[in-house]
Amino acid sequence: MALEGRELVLGVTGSIAAYKAAYLVRELRRLGAGVTVCLSAHAQRFVGPLTFRTLSGRPVLTDLFDPRATEAVEHVALAERADAIVVAPATADLLAKAAHGVADDALTTLLLAARGPVLLAPAMDGGMWQHPAVVANVRLLRERGVTVLEPDTGELASGLVGPGRLPEVEAIIEALLARLGPQDLAGEHVLVTAGPTREPIDPVRFLSNRSSGKMGYALARAALRRGARVTLVSGPTALAPPPGARVVPVQTAEEMREAVLQHVDAATVVIKAAAVADYQARTVAPRKLKGKAELTLALVPTPDILGELAARRPRPFLVGFAAETDDVVAHARAKLQAKGVDVLVVNDVSRAGVGFEADDNQVLILDRWGGERALPRMPKSALADEILSHVLAIRAAAPDATRVGR
C-alpha cells in the first residue's frame, strides 16, 4: 500500500468538522502510515488532544514551545521527517495564514517548514468559500504547489446549504495517495467499465450476475491517483463514485456498449472490468409476469463489446477481464486469442474469498505478445496498481501497442 511506512503530519484547525479528523487518523493508521497530529488552539475547543493521542499512539503537538518535545526545534524536525502534511479541516483563517506566510502557532510554523507535499482540506460556513479573499488565497496556494481540495456541498453547521463541508475521508486519502504516488498516467485518458449489467425480463425482473464493481472501481481510483483522466462506465453498484472520475451510469449491456463507444475515441487505455451479461431476453414483457406455472425464456446474446472494441482501427490499448470457474488457463488463452485484446486479466471466481463481491482478488495476466504473469491474492486496491503498472510496462515494451492500427 502506498502509505505503508509513510510518516504524516495531520493538522487540525478550529471547525466543527474537527471531529471527522479522528476518522481520518484511524484510516491513515489502518493503511500503515505513522501519524503525528498537530492541533491549533481553536481545534482543541472541539476535540481534545487525548482523542488524537489515543488514535495515533503518539504525543500530540499543541504548543510551539512545548517543554516536553524531544527535539530542540520540534516543528522543524517534524517537518523534515514528514512525507506529507495534511490539514483537515483547514479553516479560512488557516488558508489565509498559509497563503501569506503567517507563522503564529505550531501548525502554521510547521507549514512554513514543510519539505514535502502539503494538502489542505477546507471546511467553512456561510458562503466563505466563495468570498474573494478566500478565492485569492486558494489560487495563491495552488500556484505554489499546495494541493487545496474543493469542499463538499451540502448542509452546513449554520443550516445554510452550499460549498464548505469537509471532503469525505476517502476523498482526502485519494488526494494524498495521488501526491505521494507516481504520476505515470499523466496525460492518459483511461476508460474503465465496472459492475454488472441488468437485462430486463419484465418491468420488475432482470437477468444479472454477482459482480459488485469493486475491481473496476479500484482500477478507476488507482488510475486517477496516478494522474489519468478517468471515465467510468458503471453498471448498477452500491459503491461511491471515485472522486474526480467522470461516471456514466448504465443498466443494460446495450447501454454500456453505447456509452463505451461514445467515449472510446478519446481514450488511450480501455479496461473492460465489467461483468456484462452474456444473454438478454428475446422479448421483454410489458407487464409483470404472474402465475406459478413453468416459464420458458427465449434468450439471445448481448452485444460483444470487447470484441467490437478489439476490431476497431485505430483503437486504444485494450485490457479485458475474464471470470472463469474451470480450466482457467486454457479458457483464458482461448479468450485472449478469440477477442484479440492486448491484455487479459483472468480470475477463478469459484475460489472462496476472491473475485465477485470480495475485497480481495487473485489473477493471471496474459498478453498477446506471449507474456504471462500470476499475481497472488491481495486487496483489490493493491491489485489495481499492480495491473496498471503491468499494463504500462507491456505497452512500453511492445512497439505496436500504443494505438493499434495507427
Nearest to 240 by CA among 208, 213, 269: 213
CA distance 235 to 9: 38
Which residues are within 8 A (CB) of 252 and not within 5 positions of it... i.e. 6 or more apart?
Answer: 197, 198, 199, 200, 280, 302
Amino acid at 119: L
Distances in whole angstroms, Cα of residue 77 to Cα of each of 28, 62, 98, 127: 21, 15, 19, 37
The conformational region for residue 165 under phi > 0 = left, psi -120 to 50 = alpha, else beta, is beta
Number of Cα atoms under 13 Å in the Cβ half of residue 65? 1
Catalytic residue among 137, 209, 347, 361: 209
Does the annotation mark 209 as catalytic?
yes
CA distance 306 to 315: 12
Cell numbers at 291, concatenated: 402465475
Nearest to 246 by CA among 189, 184, 317: 189
CA angle 223–392–215, rounded 5-degree value: 40
**Catalytic amino acids?**
209
